[in-house]
Amino acid sequence: MRDLIRLLPTLKKHLAKTYVVWKRLRVCAHPRLYSAQFSASELEELGGEFDVDRAVSHYLAHGVHEGKRLCALFNPDWYLEQLDRAGIKITKDMAPFIHWLAVGWDEWIVPTPLFHEGFYEERYPGPAKAYPWSFVHYVKKGCYEANRLASPNGRHHPGGSDPQASELQAPLLLREMLYRADDYDLSRTSWAEEGARAARAKYDTLGTARMTELVAKAAEIEPLVLQPHWDYPVAGTPPYRGRRLFLDRQAEELRRAVGRVHVDTVVLVPGGTADAVAATLDSLLARAGSDSLLVVGTDTGGTAEESRAPEKAYLDLLPFLEGMERGFRLDLLLDLVRGVTAERIVVVGSELGWGLLATYGRQLSARASLVAYVPSAEGDPEQTGPGPAVREFQQCFAHLDWALVETEALAKELTDRYALPRALAGRLVPPGEHAVERAFHVPSSHQHG
C-alpha cells in the first residue's frame, strides 16, 4: 500500500482514503491482461503468469511507471477524453488509472468504451440499483457473468460461462480484448475497445440531423418505427460486433489447425481416455487408415495417445470451444465437417457429436453418410433400460446410414422398442469380428453428395 500512497494525488482528501483506493485497485486488477503485456521470456523471468496479488504488486512497483495496464475495464485514452468532457484536470505526471481510482470513480466516470451506463441500467435495473453506481456492479459481478450485455454493441465475448472467471478476476470480455493482441498496444487499447469505439461512432451517426429527418419522414408513414421497446436497442455492427462474430475467428483458427482440406471420414469421440470407444475406433482406423480419417475429441479434451488415435489424425477441439455457448459449439463443429467435405461422419461416444447429428442431421445426411456407435447399459450399474444414448439414438436414427450397437441384445431391444421394419433394423449392426466392415456395406438410405 506504501507504493500506492506515493502515486495518489497529493490532496489530503485523496490521501485520506488510501484504503478505499487500495480496495478498488484490487477489484479492478485483471492479471491475464497484465500478463499479456509481457513477452514469454519476460514472464518466465518474472515467475510466470501473474495472479491478482503479484499483478497488483508488480504494477505498483513497476508497471504504473512503464505505462502498463492493470485493468481491462480502464482505457486510459477513453478516460482522459471523459475527464476533459467533465472539465476535470489531471496533471501530466499522474497515472490516469490511479487518478480514476481516487477521483474519477467518485465522479462516476466510466473509463471504458466497453460499458454503457444507460444501457446497462435499462437492461438490469435490479442489480444496477443494488450499487450506487451501476459500473461498480459490472466491475465486481457483471463482467464475469455470461448473460450480461455491457453495451448496446454486443456482449464482447462468445457467450459461454466460465465458473473460474470471478475467482481469477478474468472478465469474460478478455477473450475479445486479447484477439489480434499483436496488432494493438494492450497498455492502451485492444481489438475489443477499438471495435466498440467504431461501433459507437456508427451508432451515433443515426442521431445526425439528416438521419433524424429521414426517420421522422418514415414515421409519418409508419409511426411504429418510433416506438422502441428499449431506449438503447442492441446494435450489431459487423465487422466489429455481432453475436456470432467470435465464431468466425474460431472457425478460421480451426481450419488452419486441421491443416487438411479434405478427409474421407471424421470420427467424433469424447476425448480423454478411450476405453469405451477404443474397439470401435480401432476398427475404423483399420478400415479407413489414418490418412483419410480425422479423429476429433469434442467433450473433455485430451491427447491423441489417450484417444488411441494416430497423432497426425487427431484433433483436440476443446481449445477452440472454450468460452462458447453450446449453439456456437455445434456450429463450429458443423463448419469443420462441412469444411473437410467429409463423406462419412461417425459419432463414437461424443456428446457434441450426437448434438451435431440431432441438430444438423438432415442437412449433413444429404452430403455425407452419418454413423453412430450406440453403447449398451449392460455392465453399467448406473444405467438401466436400453442404454445411455437411447435419447440421442431416437433423435438421430432417421439420419443415420447405420448404427454400431454394442450388443446383440441392444440391437434387439431397439428394434422392438421402435418397432423397426426389417430394412431399418438391418441398419443396427451388432458387434463381431468384422462389424465395421459389414456396416460399411450396409446400403445407404440417403442420397449423398
Partner 1 sequence: MAEDTRQPDITAILTAHVEGTMIGVSFRSMLAAVDVATEAGLDVEMLVVLDKPDEATREMLEEVDTHGARLLEVSYGDQALVRNHAVREARGRFIALLDGDDLWTENWLVAAHTLCAAEPRTIAHPYADWVFGESNSLSLPPDQTDPQFNPATLRVTNAWDALCMAPREAYLDHPFQARDLAQGYAFEDWLWNLDTVRAGYVHRVVRDTIHFKRSRSGSQFRHATANRSTTRPTPYHDYAWLQEWERARKGEPGTGSSSPLR
Strand partners, 373: 404
Round to whole Å and give the CA distance between 348 and 283: 12
Rank residues 160 and 430 by Cβ distance to partner 1 and give the closer one: 160
CB of 9 to partner 1, least distance (A): 38
Distance CA 382, CA 324 (A): 30
Q: Please give the Cα distance from 7 to 3 (Å, whole number).
A: 7
Q: Closest separation between CB of residue 60 and partner 1, Å?
A: 36
User: Closest approach of Cβ 116 to partner 1, in Å?
Assistant: 14
The grid coordinates of residue 325 equal 455457448
Q: Residue 255 CB, nearest distance to partner 1 (Å)?
A: 6
* Chain contacts with partner 1 (rule: CB under 8 A): 195, 198-199, 202-203, 205-206, 208, 210-211, 214-215, 217-218, 221-222, 224-225, 227-230, 233-240, 242-245, 247-249, 251-252, 255, 258, 260-262, 331, 334-335, 338-341, 359-360, 362-363, 366-367
3-state secondary structure 159-211: ECCCCCHHHHCCCCCHHHHCCCHHHCCCCCCCHHHHHHHHHHHHHHHCCCHHH
CA distance readout (Å), 107 to 64, 88, 102, 133: 22, 10, 10, 10
Min. distance of Cβ 302 from partner 1 in angstroms? 24
CB nearer to partner 1: pick between 112 and 359: 359
CB of 228 to partner 1, least distance (A): 5
Q: Which amino acid is at 434?
A: H
Q: Which strands make up the sheet holding 293-297, listed edge to edge?
A: 314-316, 293-297, 265-269, 344-347, 369-374, 402-405, 428-429
Query: How long is the chain?
Result: 449
Residue type, 70: L
Q: Residue 154 carries which DSSP code?
A: B
Cα gap 70→59, rounded to integer Å: 7
Cell numbers of 4, please? 500506492
Nearest residue (CB) to partner 1, 169 versus 369: 369
Nearer to partner 1, 66 or 222 (CB): 222
CB 224 within 8 A of CB 179: no
Q: Which is nearer to partner 1, 80 or 258 (CB)?
A: 258
Question: Based on CB atoms, which residue is closest to partner 1, 24 or 399?
Answer: 399
Write down the least CB distance from residue 339 to partner 1, Å: 4
Q: Three-state DSSP class for 5? A: helix
CA distances from residue 146 to 187, 195, 200, 346 in whole angstroms, order as listed:
25, 20, 22, 32
Compute the distance between CA of residue 47 and CA of residue 152 in angstroms, rounded to an integer: 39
Task: Write down the least CB distance from residue 308 to partner 1, Å.
Answer: 26
Question: Which residue lies nearer to partner 1 by CB, 139 or 293?
Answer: 293
Helix or strand holding residue 147 (H, E): none
In what helix (H) or strand (E) does residue 374 lie, and over which residues does it extend?
strand 369-374
User: At 146, which amino acid appears?
Assistant: A
Place of cell 513497476: 62
Which residue's CB is nearer to partner 1, number 82 or number 359? 359
Nearer to partner 1, 249 or 438 (CB): 249
φ, ψ of residue 248 in degrees (nearest 5):
-65, -35
Of the pair 54, 255, the CB lying nearest partner 1 is at 255
- The distance of closest approach from Cβ of residue 165 to partner 1 in the complex, given in angstroms and rounded to an integer, is 24
What minimum distance in Å lies between the beta carbon of 257 and partner 1? 11
Minimum Å gap between C-beta 98 and partner 1 is 33
Q: Which amino acid is at 224?
A: L
CB closer to partner 1, 56 vs 192: 192
